[in-house]
Chain A
Amino acid sequence: AQSVSQHNHHVILSEAASLELGCNYSYGGTVNLFWYVQYPGQHLQLLLKYFSGDPLVKGIKGFEAEFIKSKFSFNLRKPSVQWSDTAEYFCAVKVGSGGYQKVTFGTGTKLQVIP
């Protein structure tokens, strides 16, 4: 069965600092990869997704992620964070297609941006 690991559980940054959140997955086959964000008190929203093609994926709000197949990684990055980026970030992997698709999430990383 697939699994997703997020190594940083809680990250504190000052505004304008650069961000990188780690995500590794374990699954030997084809995967689709996602990063979701959950702002306080809200539901999960998609930040970006990777299905195929260019392994560097750009998402909303200046976020990007790079899929490195050899490392089974899909790290999230942002060059300069803002206070409004304070939220919890979840990495997810989807395996299968058509009749069977399962989406598994990491345990999440809480990001706190200090003004």
Chain B
Amino acid sequence: DAGITQSPRYKITETGRQVTLMCHQTWSHSYMFWYRQDLGHGLRLIYYSAAADITDKGEVSDGYVVSRSKTENFPLTLESATRSQTSVYFCASKDTAQETQYFGPGTRLLVL
């Protein structure tokens, strides 16, 4: 589990600001994912990536942007943060050889 990290772990920002959440994995897994976790909604997929330079939208992608220039990094950017984006964000990765997804420790984001 230590192979996937997220930064920052906690972030407070204001409405309208741009925020980037970082995700880094050391396993060279092909797939990476971003989820948000909210009470009553469980885990919802924001974006995922099957490989470098390949990304796809998930269930709740509006207001978010991702990039994957390197296999090991998958940053998530909130272009103009809104209060509804207050949440806990989890990054995950998996290898194509196995189906288990490994999760990062999460980033708690508060948008004021």
Query: Does chain A bind chain B?
Result: no
Interface of A with B (CB < 8 Å)?
Answer: none
Interface of B with A (CB < 8 Å)?
Answer: none
